[in-house]
Structure 1
Amino acid sequence: MLDEITKDNTLDQPALKMAEPSKPLRVAILWKHPSLGLYSNSAFEDLYNGIGHNNGNLAFVHAIASHISNPVKFFGWSASAETLRDNADIIVIPCANQLGRHTDYGNMADNLEKSGLPIVAIGLGAQADSYDQDIQLTDGTYRWTQVIARSNPSSSTSNIYTRGAFTSSQLDKLGTHGSVAGGCPSYFTNQEPGLGKKIHKQWSQLPLPRSISVAAGHQAWVKTRNIEHQLIGLMMDPMYPGQYVVQSMGEMIRVSRGIFDDIDPHALKEIHNHTVPHYSFEEFKAWCRNYVRSFYDVPAWMDTLRRHDFTIGSRYHGVALALQAERMGLTVTIDSRTRELCENTGVPSVAASDLTAPLTRSSLKKMINFDPDAYDRHRSEAASRYLDFLTANRIQPASFLHRIAASK
């Protein structure tokens, strides 16, 4: 917060009246748990609710919180309009793939509108099977987008920062125009410029990746199961063991915590089939304890990813955090959501439908076409757009964003 400037006055000179600098806006970030504390001893349901039912949410929430220099308080999505008005001047919503038929935010829309505060949505994404399809929204979520757009006090700037051009085009079709097609804010988790060169240096020194971290998919994704089996095989190297990092859904996260008795038997069988079907059930549980991991804060997650040469899988944030930790990654894209995220943040990607040949360390190495200079240039330009968006919405950006933007 800016301090009031004061000045000593001499006796023979009249005091000059200094203009008091405007105070930065108080920001309410709609995320209930900025820290899960000593989570090793927490009940599963507390952890599951704390991550918003997907560990990947932590990536962009952590990033957004680090980008804002204003006074910040965190509130759950159900915080009353009165609470928000009493504690904030502006609301920031860390967004994910909320634009799809899987959500209904009618109640939240009513509450946000009642608060009367300006709203800034950061990282909003659309979810469809491909770019060829338009999204379908429930009436509640459609109204939610309208409430956010109408809360913008400025007619010359947008208050919605999307994951990319596809999402912005879908908003245009819904009548919400002018959104900024930016990417995921987790692009700026690493606070230093020149990130691409650091990634490339580590990657180019390896003839082949040794230890592999898998950004695990979901047991219901039958179309990617053959890919998942191959990645698990590569991950389980006796000399360079990797890890199988899960993010969603609840059953997958439970096995990462060694909780088997509370899982629906059918779901547990599907996870078994999706991972190591050649093991007995008891061997499968032992495999989970040895290899399956989930993380509840971003620094610990990134620190573990640095121990592995390469991260691959269908979870964008699990791969993106590897790059932010200066390690190479490859996202296996399965829908418009993952494709758009990769295209707008320089994360190497390959469509799951294109992975028809056997996966080996050699074939994975050949799939990576990473230009460190292009990556750093793109990241710098994206940081400039992000800075413009934040400042236009009266949010004071962290100083490191300026360093990244200036590093062209």
Structure 2
Amino acid sequence: MLEDIAFDTPVSQPQPSGRPAASSEPLRVAVLWKTPNLGLYSNAPFDSLYTAIGHNNGNLAFVHAIASHITNPVGFFAWGTSAETLRKNADIIVIPCANQLGRHTDYGQMAENLEKSGLPIVAIGLGAQANSYDHDIELSPGTLRWAQVIAASNPSSASSNIYTRGAYTSAQLDKLGITGSLPGGCPSHFLNQAPGLGRKIHANWTACELPRSISVAAGHQAWVKTREIEHQLISLMMDPIAPGQYVVQSMGEMIKISRGIFDDIEPQVLKEIQEHTVPHYSPEEFRSWCRNYVRSYYDVPAWMDSLRQQDLTIGCRYHGVALAIQAERMGVTVTIDSRTRELCENTGVPYVDAAALTAPLTRKRLKALVAFDPDAYDRHRADSAGRYLDFLEANRLKPAPFLKAIAVGR
């Protein structure tokens, strides 16, 4: 596995604001993600892989995207990197964010360390997690402090340094007194570097009357409310002529079955996973099914390449679906909470609420479920790219040229 990247050349200390002295040189960026490339991971220990992906393969999507969007000199550092190391090796910190705003996190220690660094901080893709838009988020004091430290590090009152997943997250921050964030979406919206993505997706989707091969963006065995949906999707996925795949992202036990690590899973948990997927199989047949159909991916290009072979990707995992969209194939997210719905609404990814999937699922019904206007999608993506471009530039981050191409539509 890769170690934290450190620079050998001594650097001058930044000014108190965190900014270096006036210079034409681009800012050196510390991206808080320890392992940007998992290398030859085929024989890596599971625990090493699980840690490197941040306990969810979907994290790779937005980290890969952000790394491709910034042309500044970039170093990658673990979340726990000391303030002194960050000061010595960077002029600005970029945090690739997920749904950190929820009661499941406590970032008090990290908040203290970031504040000690004295560097400006840019958070990209920050999301709030609640059961629905009707609920407010609940934060630990540590995570609230973390968000406050990020906001306070912004040296400019004229622009934002927090790019959120959407209006719901920004509104939740407003309620906490953290104002001025920019509702944007997820940076994985711009993984595909070409304009006109919507038209390409539409052309592939309409080329076949019904979807044949299906990739399922797998949920979790504890999600009982979506279990019958997964059973039906798995049945459609297991077509003998056009076989698909069951792509897992989280949590650890679900990922283990994709790598044939059955004996390390508690027997009761393994039984629950089987009940969530193929309850009609024997334990031995279940293991064979896992080897044949269950997959997890550890680099974004390989993941997207596998999705290009499928006519449709559908399931509860937003990033598993979004990668199919970026690979120019149709995807539908089955939304289960505020975070998945917000991401879809702000990136144009088709979605359907899990509660609405009451009738038997067939290929014909899946085809009818997709509401996708390619021209509206491309307009929305261009507008979003323009706002994202302005956000990066306002924070003295040099955007990749292809972002402008997407923004202007050519």
Counterpart of 1:216, as a letter, is A
For residue 399 of structure 2, what is the aligned residue in structure 1?
A: 397
Question: How far off is 1:369 after superposition?
Answer: 1.2
2:319 counterpart (302, 317, 339) = 317
> What SS does the corresponding residue of 2:306 show, helix, strand or coil?
helix
- CA distance in structure 1 between the partners assigned to 2:158 and 2:386 by the alignment: 18
How is 1:175-190 mapped onto 2 (pairs within 5 angstroms)? 175-190=177-192
For residue 121 of structure 1, what is the aligned residue in structure 2?
A: 123
- CA distance in structure 2 between the partners assigned to 1:36 and 1:369 by the alignment: 36
Counterpart of 1:189, as a letter, is L
Counterpart of 1:79, as a letter, is T
For residue 158 of structure 1, what is the aligned residue in structure 2?
A: 160
For residue 79 of structure 1, what is the aligned residue in structure 2?
A: 81
In the alignment, structure 2 segments of 5+ residues that lack a partner are: 1-21
Question: How far off is 1:21 after superposition?
Answer: 6.6
Counterpart of 2:281, as a letter, is Y
- CA distance in structure 1 between the partners assigned to 2:76 and 2:311 by the alignment: 35
- CA distance in structure 1 between the partners assigned to 2:280 and 2:194 by the alignment: 44
- CA distance in structure 1 between the partners assigned to 2:208 and 2:194 by the alignment: 23
> What SS does the corresponding residue of 2:42 show, helix, strand or coil?
helix
Residues 231-288 of structure 1: CA deviation (Å, up to 9, x unaligned): 0000000000000000000000000000000011111111010000000000000000
- CA distance in structure 2 between the partners assigned to 1:290 and 1:235 by the alignment: 12
1:280 counterpart (273, 279, 282) = 282
For residue 3 of structure 2, what is the aligned residue in structure 1?
A: none
In the alignment, structure 1 segments of 5+ residues that lack a partner are: 1-19
For residue 297 of structure 2, what is the aligned residue in structure 1?
A: 295
- CA distance in structure 2 between the partners assigned to 1:159 and 1:21 by the alignment: 21
- CA distance in structure 2 between the partners assigned to 1:138 and 1:344 by the alignment: 27
For residue 227 of structure 1, what is the aligned residue in structure 2?
A: 229
CA-based RMSD of the aligned residues comes to 0.8
For residue 206 of structure 1, what is the aligned residue in structure 2?
A: 208
1:340 counterpart (339, 342, 346) = 342
> What SS does the corresponding residue of 2:177 show, helix, strand or coil?
coil
How is 1:123-272 mapped onto 2 (pairs within 5 angstroms)? 123-272=125-274
Question: How far off is 1:221 after superposition?
Answer: 0.1
- CA distance in structure 2 between the partners assigned to 1:119 and 1:296 by the alignment: 27
- CA distance in structure 2 between the partners assigned to 1:127 and 1:375 by the alignment: 25
- CA distance in structure 2 between the partners assigned to 1:310 and 1:186 by the alignment: 18
What TM-score results when the alignment is normalised by the length of structure 2? 0.94
> What SS does the corresponding residue of 1:55 show, helix, strand or coil?
coil
1:355 counterpart (354, 357, 375) = 357
Question: How far off is 1:200 after superposition?
Answer: 0.2
For residue 6 of structure 1, what is the aligned residue in structure 2?
A: none
Counterpart of 2:328, as a letter, is E
- CA distance in structure 1 between the partners assigned to 2:369 and 2:226 by the alignment: 18
> What SS does the corresponding residue of 1:40 show, helix, strand or coil?
coil
Counterpart of 2:101, as a letter, is L
Question: How far off is 1:47 after superposition?
Answer: 0.5
For residue 108 of structure 2, what is the aligned residue in structure 1?
A: 106
- CA distance in structure 2 between the partners assigned to 1:145 and 1:234 by the alignment: 43
Counterpart of 1:50, as a letter, is A
- CA distance in structure 2 between the partners assigned to 1:32 and 1:107 by the alignment: 17
1:374 counterpart (376, 385, 393) = 376
- CA distance in structure 1 between the partners assigned to 2:269 and 2:43 by the alignment: 25
Counterpart of 1:58, as a letter, is L
Question: How far off is 1:328 after superposition?
Answer: 0.2
Counterpart of 1:62, as a letter, is H
Counterpart of 1:347, as a letter, is V
For residue 13 of structure 1, what is the aligned residue in structure 2?
A: none
Question: How far off is 1:113 after superposition?
Answer: 0.3
> What SS does the corresponding residue of 2:103 show, helix, strand or coil?
coil
- CA distance in structure 1 between the partners assigned to 2:91 and 2:36 by the alignment: 19
Aligned length: 389
1:52 counterpart (54, 59, 73) = 54
For residue 17 of structure 1, what is the aligned residue in structure 2?
A: none
Of structures 1 and 2, the larger Rg is shown by: 1
Residues 377-399 of structure 1: CA deviation (Å, up to 9, x unaligned): 00000000000100000000000
- CA distance in structure 2 between the partners assigned to 1:138 and 1:266 by the alignment: 31
> What SS does the corresponding residue of 1:386 show, helix, strand or coil?
helix
For residue 305 of structure 1, what is the aligned residue in structure 2?
A: 307
Counterpart of 1:305, as a letter, is L
1:64 counterpart (63, 66, 87) = 66
- CA distance in structure 2 between the partners assigned to 1:315 and 1:302 by the alignment: 15
- CA distance in structure 2 between the partners assigned to 1:204 and 1:289 by the alignment: 32
